[in-house]
Structures are given as C-alpha cells and as structure tokens.
C-alpha cells in the first residue's frame, strides 16, 4: 500500500473509437478498499472505462495509473487487477477448480499452494464441493460466484466488475448485492462496479460515479447523488423526479426568495442566484406532501392546486399522480403513518400540493 | 398422412433410396466381389475364395497402405499448419475483406479437382511457372522440375484439400467468445499461453473435424499422386484403381477397397465418439 495515494488514478483520460468520442477529459481517483460504482445509461462509456483500467483498450489520451505506476503500455496480463465479466467467461473446457487455479498457474505458484487457495476460494463463495464440476453443469448464480472467486483468488489490487449481476433474477441479484458488499469489506480489495441500475449502485457503493456521454456528471456518496444532484441529468437519472419551474427574486444566507409555478415561496439552497434568473426546483415523490386546504402553518411553502389523476396502492406506500393546475403532472409518494387519520384521496379529488420544507434542490434552468 | 408427414416421408425416403442404390448396393457388391476368385477371361469367377485378401496381406500392399497413411497424415499436418493461422485471422477479422477471402477459399470447390491438378502440373514442371521464376530470380541456373517427387505429391494433396481444413477451423474459431481470450489475458496469461490453454482446446472440435475431412479423402485421392508423383508414390487409391483397370484382378481390388472402407469407418467412429463427448459438455451450458 502506498499511504493515502489512490489505488487507481485516471488523469485526463480520453477515448475515441473511429473518431467517435467515448470518454472525454476524465479525472477520477479510486481509493484503496472502497466500493465504487460507475453508473450511467447504456452507451455512456462506463464499460469502456472499466476496459481501460483492465488494459483491454488503450486510451487515446491521458493516463491510467494503478498503485502509482502509469499503466498505459502494460498489457492486461501484467496488471494486478482482475475482471468479473458480464457473461462470466468461465473456461468451458476446465473444471471449476482449474478455472480458479488458472490465474495462480499463470503466476507460477506451486501446486500445493494452488490447491490450498482454490479450496479457500471455493469455501469463500460457498461452493466447497463444486471443484470437480464443469462450468456448464452449474446454475447461473453458481457460475457467477465461480467467476468472482476466479478473479479474487489472485489477490488483485482492484476487482473490476462489469454488470456481473444483470443475468440473475431479481431475488438472487438482491442477495448477491449484499454478498458482494460484504466481500469487499472482508477482503479489503477495491471494487470497481459497473451498472446501469441506480438502485443496485446505491445499495452497494461507498461512492457512485454518474457518467453520461463519456463525461463524469457527479461523484459522491449515494446520499449526495440522490439528495443533492448537481444537475437535472443526474437528478433525472437517479430516480423519479418532479421538476417545477420558477424564477429567482433575491438570495441571502441560504434562503432564496422566488416564484415557483406562480407561487411566491422561500427555498433553501447554498447556490446563489441573481435576480430574475430562471430556476428549476427538483423534488422527489417522497418529498411531496398533500396539505389540508385550511392549513396555514407553512406560509413559506408554495401551495399548488391540482386534481388527483390516479392512485396506486403499493403496500408500504401510497402513490398518487396529480395533475397540477399549472399543467405539470407529478408523482407523490406517501408513507403510511399509523398514528394519523389520513383522508384517502380518490381520482378526481381536488388537492393542494406542497413539499417538506428544505427538501428541495434548486438548480439553474438548463435545457436538459 | 398429412402434408407435413408426407413431405418428411418423401424427402427422407428419397435420400435413403439414393444412398441405397449408389452407396450401399455398390458397397455390398464390392464386399461380395472381394470374396470371389479371379478369372482370366471374365471379370470374376463365381466361387468363394479368400485369394483377394491373401494377395493384399503382402509386404508390397502393406507398404502401399503405410505409404498412403504417411502421405495422408503428412498432408493433414501440412493443411493444419497452413490453415490454422489463416482461419484464425480470417475469423477474427472485422473488415469487408473477410467475405472476399472466405469467397476465395470457396471458389476452388466449384472447379473440378482434376482440372486444378493439371494447373499444378503447369506450375511445377520443368519449364513451369515456379521454375521460370526461380531462374529469373537467379536462384537456380537451369530450369528445375518439381514433378514426380514426394514434395509435389504433398503440394498437390495439400492444395486440393486445404479448404476442407480451413472451413471447420474457421467456424470453430468464430464460435469462441472473445471474452474467453480476454479472461485468460486478465488472469495473467500472455499471448502464447492464452493460445495453448484456451484457444487451442476450444477449437479442438474444429481441428478434429478438419483433420478427418482432409485425412480420409487424402487416402483415396489416387489421381494426384498419379499425375504429380508419376506413379512412384502409390496410394491405396492407386493400388485399387490398378487392380481393377490394369491388373484386372477384381477380387484383390475389392478386398483392398473393403480394408480401406473399414479403416475409414473406424476413424469416423473415433471422431464421432470424441465429438459426442465434446457436444455433451457444450450442450449442458445452454
């Protein structure tokens, strides 16, 4: 280990295929032992980024460093990182044990130690008796675990995972998410995980890197990404949003006086806005609240009238689609509160919508 | 019988009829003939005899058989060595040249192999193209002939049978998931070790199929050694042809034919067993 230096450092990384820009001016430090997820829609360059770290592609510009050494000209077989492929890529002509031992054999490790480590790795992924099986005779979930064991057994500096859970069914995927997270903690190996599934990213990661069109939009903890998206693109990508238009009046001390959908109100934001600047207020369905018509307590909050379009009972929550009078359609998620006698709204009811004070994110107006 | 069943019946029975008349029946005739005796005036003498087989259990015939196996095996090896890099490169190509090159491999199939062998004669004879080029380059002072040598026979057989090696290899390489290669590299294998540990085993079905498709025809391809080897390098095929057409000893020719057929059947059986095992391993995955 090299102190506080990042285990993987990407500097000004650029990548072009046939003159089509795939990654541009990308800078990222990945710390030792963290679980970091590259999140983005398909075609955003996240898999290319992983392949650049693994060494399957060479960058058109910039550098990839692993453990302080520039790796641009180092072939994949000489990089101390290992990949778990989306399709697992287990060798079909080798038994599970031989698949696991492959990396150790290439590293010239003696048979006795090899056997020992294969046994440990099989136990680690909970497949102690599967060593003699051929990969074709394993279930998808078992193949997945063999693929992880085959990579981890080499004790890499970082484990690169390319959407490894996408072929599993929902239940197994949830379980593997937890197991992967535990594995990362237990082994202390850096995990670089690629996915397009926002929930998966949030469930596992220490940090999430949101990529779009070959650029990093935001890097942060799942909470930061979800609660304080830096732009509309990120906000829209990570979960349902309700976006309201407005214009700033004046900003002072973290409070912005503004008009939102025709309603004067006070917004909490650390960003400062100029007078008459167009703004957008980003809210999540769970930020929204239906206020009783006679409620006058929250005077700073706007009161947006609308009509209930549809209600969806979801067990732990009650979702409502509301057509606001200003023309926007929004989704409201209300959690059940047993202590409260709530009036159940029906389709066609007139309601007044607001949000919990301070839960809003204010962004400058952009054409995204 | 509905339309679908009738079609199935007709198509299958047609094929069976064809194979019976032109494959099984002549085969049985040959087998029968091999147990008959030779006759000076007629084709055969209709009495049971093992003379045909007795004639071929003879050092001369065994030498020819051995020589055939040697030429066929050598040809198979040459084809494999020439075809593997080509097929590999071709299958991994991503340009439009891939189709062009594949076409060039296919075209010889549409030409009679006898005609192609004559073309080779023009390449290899004393004042042939190869010789002319060598003289022009100053490598040899006088025109040289490559005709009637073992090398010429190998060249002819390899040239004729090369496409049968390329095509199965091509399809085997193309079937390999590129991620397998990447996985091997990722796990620390360099190019050579990736090839020997992953690529080669995964293309083994193609290698076996290609070798069968070259080795078996090579055993019987009598006209190539005839024309290019000048009859000095006899194959079993030549021996059989000569027994029938030159020596007029039909039982002996038939006996040699039976031996060759049994040898081929044995090889096909071995191939079938190994292929069956590979397929079983491959199928369980899907």
Which residues in chain B are contacts of A56 at CB distance < 8 A? 182, 185-186
Half-sphere exposure of A251 (CA within 13 A, CB side): 16
Q: Which of B286, B236, B233, B228 is nearest to B260 (CA)?
A: B236
Q: Which of B262, B266, B248, B231 is nearest to B52 (CA)?
A: B248
**Do A82 and B189 lie within an 8 Å CB cutoff?**
no
Q: How distant is the Cα of B220 from the closest Cα of chain A, in angstroms?
A: 35
Cα–Cα distance for residue pair B76/B215, rounded to 1 Å = 6
Domain tally, chain B:
1
Cα–Cα distance for residue pair A98/A122, rounded to 1 Å = 12
pLDDT grade, residue B282 (50/70/90)? very low
Which range, A34-38, A289-293, B49-53, B270-274, is most confident?
A34-38
- Mean residue pLDDT of chain B comes to 87
Phi-psi region of A319 (alpha: psi -120 to 50; beta: other; left: phi over 0): beta
Count Cβ atoms below 10 Å from residue A42 Cβ, excluding itself. Answer: 8
Q: How distant is the Cα of B274 from the closest Cα of chain A, in angstroms?
A: 14
* Residue B36 domain flag: no
Can you read off the two tokens belonging to residue A128?
């102690």
* Residue B178 domain flag: yes
DSSP secondary structure letter of residue A324: E
Find the mean pLDDT for residues B62-75: 90
Q: Does B280 touch chain A (CB under 8 A)?
A: no
Cα–Cα distance for residue pair B199/B211, rounded to 1 Å = 17
* Residue B25 domain flag: no
Q: What are phi and psi for residue A39, nearest 5 degrees?
A: -115, 135
Is a pLDDT exceeding 90 seen at residue B38?
no
Cα–Cα distance for residue pair A148/A245, rounded to 1 Å = 47
pLDDT string in tens for chain A (368-residue length): 444 679 999 999 999 988 888 999 999 999 999 999 999 988 889 999 999 999 999 999 999 999 999 999 999 999 999 999 999 999 999 999 999 999 999 999 999 999 999 999 999 999 999 999 999 999 999 999 999 999 999 999 999 999 999 888 888 899 999 999 999 999 999 999 999 999 899 999 999 999 999 999 999 999 999 988 998 889 888 888 888 988 888 888 888 888 888 888 888 888 888 888 889 999 999 888 888 776 666 567 788 889 999 888 877 788 889 999 888 889 998 876 665 656 677 888 888 888 888 888 888 887 54
Q: Which of A55, A85, A93 sits opposite B183 (nearest CB)?
A: A85
Q: Which of B180, B185, B281 sits opposite A136 (nearest CB)?
A: B281
Which residue segment(s) compose the domain that B151 sits in? Answer: 58-248
Is a pLDDT exceeding 70 seen at residue B55?
yes
Q: What are phi and psi for residue A272, nearest 5 degrees?
A: -100, 145
**Interface contacts (A, B; CB < 8 Å):** 71
**Do B187 and A136 lie within an 8 Å CB cutoff?**
no
Cα–Cα distance for residue pair B212/B206, rounded to 1 Å = 10
Give the distance from CA A288 to its chain's centroid.
Answer: 23
pLDDT grade, residue B286 (50/70/90)? very low
Domains of chain A: 8-236 (3.40.50.300), 241-364 (2.40.50.100)
Which residues in chain B are contacts of A77 at CB distance < 8 A? 185-190
Q: Which of A314, A304, A315, A317 is nearest to A351 (CA)?
A: A304
* Residue B46 domain flag: no
Q: Does B201 touch chain A (CB under 8 A)?
A: yes
Which residues in chain B are contacts of A155 at CB distance < 8 A? none
Q: Does B281 touch chain A (CB under 8 A)?
A: yes
Q: Does B285 touch chain A (CB under 8 A)?
A: yes
A308 SS3 class: strand
Which range, A166-175, B46-55, B182-191, is most confident?
B182-191
Find the mean pLDDT for residues B191-210: 93
**Do B190 and A75 lie within an 8 Å CB cutoff?**
yes
Which residues in chain A are contacts of B206 at CB distance < 8 A? none
Is a pLDDT exceeding 90 seen at residue B225?
no
* Residue B171 domain flag: yes
Is a pLDDT exceeding 90 seen at residue B95?
no
When comparing pLDDT for A271 and B98, which is higher? B98
What pLDDT was estimated at residue B285? Answer: 39
Q: Does B274 touch chain A (CB under 8 A)?
A: no
**Do B183 and A83 lie within an 8 Å CB cutoff?**
yes
What pLDDT was estimated at residue B283? Answer: 45
Q: Does B246 touch chain A (CB under 8 A)?
A: no
* Residue B284 domain flag: no
A48 SS3 class: helix
**Do A102 and B197 lie within an 8 Å CB cutoff?**
yes
Q: How large a percentage of chain B has pLDDT more than 90?
A: 36
- Are β-strands A190-195 and A35-39 bridged in parallel, bridged antiparallel, or unpaired? parallel
Q: Does B200 touch chain A (CB under 8 A)?
A: no
* Residue B39 domain flag: no
Cα–Cα distance for residue pair A1/A128, rounded to 1 Å = 31
A92, A96, A164: best to mutate for the B interface, most B CBs within 10 A: A92
CATH, residue B179:
1.10.3720.10
Taking CA atoms, B217 is separated from A277, A333, B139, B164, in Å, by 84, 75, 35, 10
What pLDDT was estimated at residue A368? Answer: 47
Q: Which residue from A minimizes the CA distance to B179?
A: A89
* Residue B149 domain flag: yes
Q: How distant is the Cα of B204 from the closest Cα of chain A, in angstroms?
A: 10
Find the mean pLDDT for residues B258-262: 89
């Amino acid at each position: 280990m090299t102190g506080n230096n990042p285990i993987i450092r990407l500097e000004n990384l650029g990548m072009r295929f046939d003159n089509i820009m795939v990654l541009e001016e990308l800078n990222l430090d990945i710390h030792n032992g963290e679980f970091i997820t590259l999140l983005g829609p398909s075609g955003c360059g996240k898999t290319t980024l992983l392949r650049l770290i693994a060494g399957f592609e060479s960058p058109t510009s910039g550098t990839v460093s692993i453990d302080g050494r520039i790796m641009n000209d180092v072939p994949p077989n000489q990089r101390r990182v290992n990949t778990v492929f989306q399709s697992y890529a287990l060798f079909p002509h080798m038994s599970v044990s031989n698949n696991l031992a492959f990396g150790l054999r290439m590293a010239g490790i003696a048979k006795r130690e090899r056997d020992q480590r294969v046994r440990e790795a099989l136990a680690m992924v909970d497949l102690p008796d599967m060593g003699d099986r051929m990969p074709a005779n394993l279930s998808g979930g078992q193949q997945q675990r063999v693929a992880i064991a085959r990579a981890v057994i080499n004790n890499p500096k970082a484990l690169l995972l390319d959407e490894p859970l996408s072929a599993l069914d929902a239940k197994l995927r949830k379980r593997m998410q937890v197991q992967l997270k535990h594995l990362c903690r237990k082994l202390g190996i850096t995990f670089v995980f690629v996915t397009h599934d926002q929930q998966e990213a949030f469930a596992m990661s220490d940090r999430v890197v949101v990529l779009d069109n070959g650029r990093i939009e935001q890097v942060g903890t799942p909470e930061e990404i979800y609660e304080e998206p830096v732009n509309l693109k990120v906000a829209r990508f990570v979960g349902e949003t309700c976006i309201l238009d407005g214009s700033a009046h004046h900003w002072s001390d973290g409070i912005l006086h503004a008009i939102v959908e025709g309603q004067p109100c006070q917004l909490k934001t650390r960003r400062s806005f100029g007078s008459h600047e167009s703004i957008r207020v980003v809210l999540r369905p769970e930020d929204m609240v239906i206020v009783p018509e006679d409620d006058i307590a929250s005077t700073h909050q706007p009161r947006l009238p609308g009509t209930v379009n549809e209600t969806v009972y979801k067990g732990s929550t009650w979702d409502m689609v509301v057509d606001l009078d200003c023309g926007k359609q929004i989704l409201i998620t209300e959690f059940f509160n047993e202590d409260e006698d709530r009036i159940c709204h029906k389709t066609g009811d007139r309601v007044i919508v607001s949000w919990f004070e301070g839960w809003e994110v204010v962004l400058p107006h952009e054409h995204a | 019988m509905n339309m679908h069943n009738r079609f199935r019946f007709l198509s299958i029975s047609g094929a069976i009829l064809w194979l019976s008349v032109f494959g099984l029946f002549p085969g049985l005739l040959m087998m029968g003939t091999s147990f008959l005796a030779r006759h000076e005036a007629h084709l055969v003498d209709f009495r049971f005899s093992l003379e045909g087989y007795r004639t071929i259990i003879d050092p001369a015939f065994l030498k020819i058989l051995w020589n055939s196996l040697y030429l066929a095996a050598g040809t198979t090896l040459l084809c494999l060595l020439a075809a593997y890099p080509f097929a590999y490169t071709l299958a991994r190509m991503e340009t439009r040249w891939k189709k062009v090159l594949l076409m060039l491999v296919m075209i010889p199939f549409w030409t009679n192999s006898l005609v192609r062998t004559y073309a080779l004669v023009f390449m290899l004879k004393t004042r042939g193209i190869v010789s002319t080029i060598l003289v022009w380059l100053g490598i040899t002072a006088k025109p040289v002939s490559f005709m009637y040598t073992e090398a010429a026979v190998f060249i002819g057989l390899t040239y004729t049978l090369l496409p049968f090696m390329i095509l199965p290899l091509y399809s085997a390489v193309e079937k390999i998931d590129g991620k397998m290669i990447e996985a091997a590299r990722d796990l620390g294998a360099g190019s050579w070790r990736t090839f020997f540990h992953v690529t080669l085993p995964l293309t083994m079905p193609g290698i076996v199929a290609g070798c069968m498709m070259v080795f078996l025809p090579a055993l019987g391809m009598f006209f190539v050694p005839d024309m290019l080897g000048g009859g000095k390098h006899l194959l079993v095929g030549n021996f059989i042809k000569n027994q029938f057409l030159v020596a007029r000893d039909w039982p002996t020719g038939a006996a040699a034919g039976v031996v060759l057929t049994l040898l081929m059947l044995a090889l096909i059986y071995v191939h079938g067993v190994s292929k069956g095992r590979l397929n079983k391993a491959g199928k369980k995955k899907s």
